[in-house]
Amino acid sequence: MPNTTLVPLLADGEFHSGQALANALGLSRTAVWKQLNRLQSLGLEVESVKGRGYRIPGGVELLDESRVRKGLQPPAHALLQELQLLETVDSTNAEVLRRIAAGTAPGLVCSAEQQTAGRGRRGRQWVSPFARNIYLSFSWEYHQGAAALEGLSLAVGVAVVRALSGLGVSGLQLKWPNDLLAQSGKLGGVLLEMAGDAAGRCQVVIGVGINVAMPTAAADTIDQAWVDLTRLCDGSPPGRNTLLAALLNELLPLAASFGDTGFAPWRAPWMALDAYAGTPVVLHSGEKRQAGVARGVDDRGALLLETTLGLQPVFGGEISLRAAS
């Protein structure tokens, strides 16, 4: 796209003169200046120093198919049917759903530099600045219907933690049903959507978003406590291509086996990461409120809420869990 042609030239974080950029792109200096201004709309900071030129401080790592594929282990490589890396998309989940409707086979993986209409659970906006975070969606086919997929989003959370832990990220926890936490802030989230027959053959789109290096300007629009890998890793987070490959190494085998195993083998690992175990909580669903103590989850991924009436299973949906004040 025209407004991102400069990014690969500036991705190294070094200074490049306006003339050098113009020569590389075959454009006038005026046209280059206009493109530099457009980069601000992508959430990219461009520094200008007289006599030295322009740079993106710290540089950016753009998604690269060859680098992602190089990081895949044999099981994930065998399961991956197509890797689609986009510059800009409304939503990676929406893109995969469109591809499913067009007849694309399961195993499609889609990631993008930027989402213009990224979304999380309950229709909330997912802040998605250019080339700073991970926006990942992929499809898998199941034949047992939605009932057999209970707990899948929780298992995905465990797989994401395993991928990050393998890259040296520590202190991670999970919040029922879909959030990845660290240092009391939200690091990432999971969004599952379905296409097909809810009682039989269906394709599930598994979406994962992870904050890697959230720009301050973009963070100003986030309405909850958050954290990114840059903060957790003391300014040196894993590269986005390395991270994307690590996620696929965990997520694709999980998706392929979940129809047979269900959530049961993932329950204990999830419980070990439960951020709210034994904590008084309040569940919010529309105008309804339900208070109790979080006691983990059952074999179907339902939250076990201890109330005055005993231990009650609560299934996901349009429910938000918060610590009791």
Q: Is 91 annotated as a binding residue?
A: yes
Q: Residue 45 — very low, low, confident or very high, per pLDDT cuts 50/70/90?
A: confident
Domain with CATH 3.30.930.10 in the chain: 65-271
How crowded is the C-beta side of 69, counted as CA atoms within 13 Å? 10
For 57, the 3-state DSSP assignment is coil
Percent of all residues in the chain with a pLDDT value above 90, rounded to a whole number: 73
Residues of the chain with CATH 1.10.10.10: 2-55
pLDDT at 220: 67
Highest mean pLDDT, choosing among 10-19, 133-142, 214-223: 133-142
Cα–Cα distances (Å) from 95 to 14, 104, 139, in that order, read 34, 11, 11
* CA distances from residue 103 to 93, 172, 205 in whole angstroms, order as listed: 16, 37, 14
Token pair in block for residue 3: 């407004």
Average model confidence (pLDDT) across the chain? 91
User: Residue 55, annotated ligand binder?
Assistant: no
Residues annotated catalytic, as ranges? 121, 186, 322
pLDDT at 219 over 50: yes
Report the CATH fold assignment for 276-323: SH3 type barrels. (2.30.30)
Q: Is 92 annotated as a binding residue?
A: yes
Of the listed ranges 1-5, 253-257, 279-283, the one predicted with least confidence? 1-5
| pLDDT exceeds 80 at position 42 | no
Q: Is 81 labelled as part of a ligand binding site?
A: no
Please indicate, yes or no, whether the overall pTM of this predicted structure exceeds 0.75: yes
Lowest mean pLDDT among 34-48, 62-76, 309-323: 34-48
Query: For the residues 162-178, what does the mean pLDDT come to?
Result: 97
Q: Is 1.10.260.40 the CATH number for 65-271?
A: no
Angle at 193 between CA 188 and CA 198, to 5 degrees: 145
In terms of phi and psi (left: phi > 0; alpha: psi -120 to 50; beta: otherwise), the region of 176 is beta
Could you give the C-alpha distances from 164 to 13, 184, 241, in angstroms and in order? Answer: 25, 17, 13
